[in-house]
Amino acid sequence: MLNITALYILEKVNLEGWKKYGSRYYYFSAEEKSWNESRQDCRERRADLVIINSREEQEFIKKENKYVWIGLSDAKSEGQWKWVDESPLSTAFWRSGEPNNANGDENCAVFSTTADTLKAWNDIPCSYEAGWICESTQPYVRRLQ
């Protein structure tokens, strides 16, 4: 049985934008920032930009219907897409024709809500602004007062 403190923490987690899926917690931002600023916000929440490892996780994120940064970039080496934890891309959900590095400046991945299928990723310049999703094993809840 949950005690009052546990219930309070769960309620606070929901109010602060975290959602639980499987064994992970996801924070969906309500504002827009560049990829680097978004990643910094995640780190301040003791998390990082989302790493999508499965079709099920892709489906969960798609249900939110948001245009958001994910933790995927080829900024270090063009064409070598890696997640924020440095793991290589193994399961991909790129939109048709993507990634295309248009104008030689598209090094960060965004989850686009315009796609009708699960193939919803697009590469865009990291300086553009979009929402973002943080992922963590535990939600970061500010200290209880």
User: What is the tens place of the pLDDT at every residue in 32-83?
Assistant: 999 999 999 999 999 999 999 999 999 999 999 899 999 999 999 999 999 9
Spans of all domains in the chain: 19-136
CATH number of 19-136: 3.10.100.10
Average model confidence (pLDDT) for the chain? 88
Residue 131: pLDDT band by 50, 70, 90 thresholds? very high
- Quote the strand ranges of the chain, DSSP E: 18-21, 24-28, 48-49, 68-73, 82-83, 108-111, 121-124, 131-136
pLDDT value for 54: 95
Please state the pTM of the whole predicted model.
0.86
Of the chain, the percentage scoring pLDDT greater than 70 comes to 86
- Model pLDDT for residues 5-21, shown as the tens digit of each residue: 554 455 455 557 899 99
